[in-house]
A and B are shown apart, each in its own frame.
Chain A
Amino acid sequence: MNEFIGQFILESREYIEQASAGLLTLEREPTDADTLDSVFRAFHTLKGGASIVDFSAMEGAVHAAEEVLSRARAGNAPLTRELIEACLACLDQASRWLDQMEASDALPADAQTDATRILERFSQANRDQPRASQIASSAAWADALLLTDPMLRLSAKTALRYTPRPASFFQGDDPLALVAALPGLMWLDLEPIDTWPMLDAMDPFESSLVITALTNASAEAVTEHFGSHLHECEVIQIGEPQAPADAALSPTARKLIEAQIALLDDTQQEAFEGHLRSAGNVATNVLLSMNDSRAETYGAVIDESLRRKDARPLRERLAALLGAIQSEGAAQSVDAPIPLQDVSLARTFRVEAERVDALVRLTGELTIVKNAIGHSVQVQQAGNGAKTGTLKDHHAVLDHLIGELQRAVLAIRVLPLRSVLQRFPRVVREMSASLRKPVNLRIEGEDTEADKAIVEMLFEPLLHIVRNAMDHGIEVPNERERSGKPKPASLRIRASRHGANVTIEVEDDGGGVDVARVRQLAQERGIVSAENLQTMAEAEIIDLIFAPGFSTATQVTELSGRGVGLDAARAAVERVGGRVSIDSHQGEGTTVTLTVPFSVMMTRVMTVEAGGQMFGVPLDAVVETIRVPSSSIVEVGAAKALVHRDRTIPIIELSKVLRVQSPTDRATGEATIIIAAIAGTLAGIQIDRLGERMEVMLKPLEGLLSDVPGLTGTTILGDGRVLLVLDLGGVLQ
């Protein structure tokens, strides 16, 4: 992908997120000035980016939103719900464009049509809106005025268009005298309202002109000055001029400028003029797109460079723009104070995923080496005990260092869940509107962190669960009222860290799962036989709503789709080694809990032997391991079960399920059982022998293995053997 487009997409997505979150806050607190500023800045930067990549449709659409926000900032036009929605629609459209750009590596083809729709939406929302005062924040005439002289733009605060009424001369007014006395007058122009009349048809006592003016006084001062003439005036408050570019160059702009410097450094004599002009033009365009008046001066610099046949004047100018004045031979100043802004910027940075992945791979290899040394220690110990001391020490040090390295590497990939959770206010708001179910959403624990891969995969499963809660869990307002609940339902998404796991709970105070109905549907749809349903506990029946092909909705709605949601959600969570459980109480509400590992890469496994082969079992699923007399395992029909701690636990033999050789050590009269909790249910897995516990880097399944059910990944053991790590949920199915 084109580097600039890639950068543009990346940045734009961040600004879209920032703006969306801010708009939702503004919906609740329309007067929150800080949020308004932040949203405005996000739109402004989006527009700048679109302009740099020459995406005029997006630039136009985003500009319309920026205008609305700018008026709201100036206190001239309140941000109505319609306007907020138009702004959100604009962001949605921008998101879609970015998706298209990412897919096709080019600007979207029919973007202008979409942009026009957004613009129409804004003009409709604007029409519906009462004008709060005479002061506005923008108008085409004022924009044109400011374009006449960029220097004016830097200091002018207010633009004025004064159309004296035709009879004003007659009635004793001298409009120009009024304008001349304007505080801070900087510039003015006179134009005919229509065209100047022919002299012989002219009434000299009828005013037929429009006076436009710029002042550096505030809009309030100007309106006060005009007093009773205010109704003949349009007063425009001009937005803050752009900050000087050395403080405000966006990363994209910076990259563009850097590329031009590289071009100049690399310039051969024959291509000199072309390269020079091209570099100058790019710099000018970058600055123009940022409304930076320094753009005006590049022509002269290019001319100077051409005259001297020396790229240095332009190069130095560009370098200065980057804030890195490195004229040849001059030492770089080292004691210049670091601007505060830079310090805060350094707190977050982007790392290319490939680089991190490479580090992750490296630590993976180191782990293998560590395991190999561990293995040789064992071999040594078995044979010659003399040299084991140093080897053991080395192993301990290596173990320690690798642990640190691993933690450091994993930390690079850690993200707060905010990036996922902050999408929900928006989603819930839309669902709430379309289902006509008012909902108070509370989000807690946004700062909880998890590995990037985990954070990114969480959105879809959470979305399915939230949709299900909105659709089926939460009752319609009338029904809620009948059951004595407040009309607006409460929905809470709460994230928290528990050791190596992160849990996300989605809790609603809706009607809860209708157990009888689930039982009936499960039978009707052949998900569970009537016989089995008899023996199932209520919790197990509730859990059936996650079964493939299950939907308790009598009506298939647009939101929940066809019931593929919940089972897809569970599958997605289990794919990364997580679990989904549900706790529901009829009439009181439902809590769905997602438990996912903090990181996908480190997994604690226990090796077990079954049928002469070794397998890994993820420890987080293991509740306990027991040895029981073989006789205590009883046969129940075709299945086996064990009564343990007063509970009947179904037992399966791993070797049989995996169709490896039959167990070999039955002679001992004892059975080794792993008791595991799978989706809230206990199950026993009979194995031949327990191995050791270890922390491994789990590699995802590839190639032939990728379709094998019951496997979650592989890892390499100290002696070089590949260990297949089981997915117990899959094994038990």
Chain B
Amino acid sequence: MTIRVADSGAVQLEGICSVEDAEALLQILLASPGVSVDWRSCEWAHTAVIQVLLAARIVPIGAPTGVFLQDHLARVLERGAA
């Protein structure tokens, strides 16, 4: 499982998040509106996962480990949520 809810209540994206994780992420976001998402340990997230983050207008916390996520998607998510 690359998506889990931490003790703090934040959703943690870890390692490589696959297409299935999109479903899980969506369920968590539906259940806990306004929850924060932490992607500091995230190496890669499938397009479907990113699409859920965009639709939910969520800006994940911190800098992800994946270079592509950091260089390109962090900015897109920030802008999408604005």
Contacts and interface: CB of A to CB of B under 8 A. Distances in A.
Interface of A: 164, 169, 174-177, 180, 185, 187-190, 192, 196-197, 199-200, 202, 204-205, 207-209
Given A174-B19, A188-B76, A199 B55 contact: yes
Contacts of B59: none
Interface string B20-32: 0011011001100
B62 to A, nearest CB: 20
Nearest to B55: A196
A18 to B, nearest CB: 43
B48 A202 contact: no
B55 A202 contact: yes
A190 to B, nearest CB: 5
A190 B80 contact: yes
Interface in B34-50: 44, 46-48, 50
B47 A207 contact: yes
Nearest to A173: B47
Contact of A196 (B44, B54, B79): B54
A205 B80 CA distance: 20
11 contacts: A164-B47, A169-B22, A169-B47, A180-B68, A189-B79, A196-B54, A200-B30, A202-B52, A205-B19, A205-B23, A209-B51
Nearest to A168: B47
Contact of A204 (B52, B68, B79): B52
B56 interface: yes
Contacts of A204: 22-23, 25-26, 48, 51-52
Contacts of A209: 47, 51, 54
User: From DSSP, what is the main secondary structure of chain A's interface residues?
Assistant: mixed
Contacts of A164: 47
Given A176-B46, A180-B68, A188-B76, A169 B19 contact: yes
Question: Which of the listed residues B19, B46, B51, B73 has the most CB atoms from chain A within 10 Å of its own CB?
Answer: B51
User: From DSSP, what is the main secondary structure of chain B's interface residues?
Assistant: helix
Nearest to B56: A199
Given A192-B54, A204-B48, 6 more contacts: A169-B22, A175-B47, A190-B80, A196-B57, A199-B52, A209-B47
A199 B25 CA distance: 11
Interface string B57-81: 1000000000010001100100110
B49 to A, nearest CB: 8
B34 to A, nearest CB: 12
A602 to B, nearest CB: 73
Question: Which of the listed residues B26, B47, B52, B54 has the most CB atoms from chain A within 10 Å of its own CB?
Answer: B47
A177 B47 CA distance: 8
B47 A199 contact: no
B23 A174 contact: no
Given A204-B26, A205-B19, A190 B46 contact: no
Which 5 pairs across A and B sit closest by C-beta, in order of nearness? Answer: A204-B22, A196-B55, A176-B47, A180-B68, A169-B48
Contacts of A177: 44, 46-47
A169 B45 CA distance: 13
Contacts of A180: 68, 72
Contacts of B73: 176, 190
B72 A188 contact: yes
A136 B80 CA distance: 28
B79 to A, nearest CB: 8
Contacts of B23: 204-205
Nearest to B27: A204
Contact of A189 (B46, B52, B68, B76): B76
Given A204-B22, A204-B23, A174 B55 contact: no
A259 to B, nearest CB: 40
A697 B37 CA distance: 92
Nearest to B49: A204
Contacts of B48: 169, 204-205, 207
Contact of B26 (A176, A196, A202): A202
A207 to B, nearest CB: 7
Question: Which of the listed residues B19, B48, B72 has the most CB atoms from chain A within 10 Å of its own CB?
Answer: B48
Nearest to B45: A176
Contacts of A175: 47
Contact of A174 (B47, B72, B76, B79): B47
Question: Which of the listed residues B29, B30, B54 has the most CB atoms from chain A within 10 Å of its own CB?
Answer: B54
Given A174-B19, A200-B30, A190 B52 contact: no
A190 B55 contact: no
Question: Which of the listed residues B26, B57, B72, B73 has the most CB atoms from chain A within 10 Å of its own CB?
Answer: B72
A176 B54 contact: no
Contacts of B76: 188-190
Contacts of B26: 199, 202, 204
A174 to B, nearest CB: 5
A667 to B, nearest CB: 109
A204 B18 CA distance: 12
A187 B72 CA distance: 7
Given A169-B48, A205-B48, A199 B29 contact: yes
Contacts of A207: 47-48, 51
B18 to A, nearest CB: 9
A205 B25 CA distance: 12
Contacts of A189: 76, 79
Contacts of A169: 19, 22, 46-48
Question: Which of the listed residues A180, A192, A204 has the most CB atoms from chain B within 10 Å of its own CB?
Answer: A204
Nearest to B46: A174
Contacts of B54: 190, 192, 196, 209
A164 B51 CA distance: 12
A197 B29 CA distance: 14
Contacts of A205: 19, 22-23, 48
B59 to A, nearest CB: 14
Contacts of A174: 19, 46-47
Given A199-B30, A200-B30, A208 B51 contact: yes
B29 A176 contact: no
Contacts of B30: 199-200
Contacts of B79: 189
A572 to B, nearest CB: 67
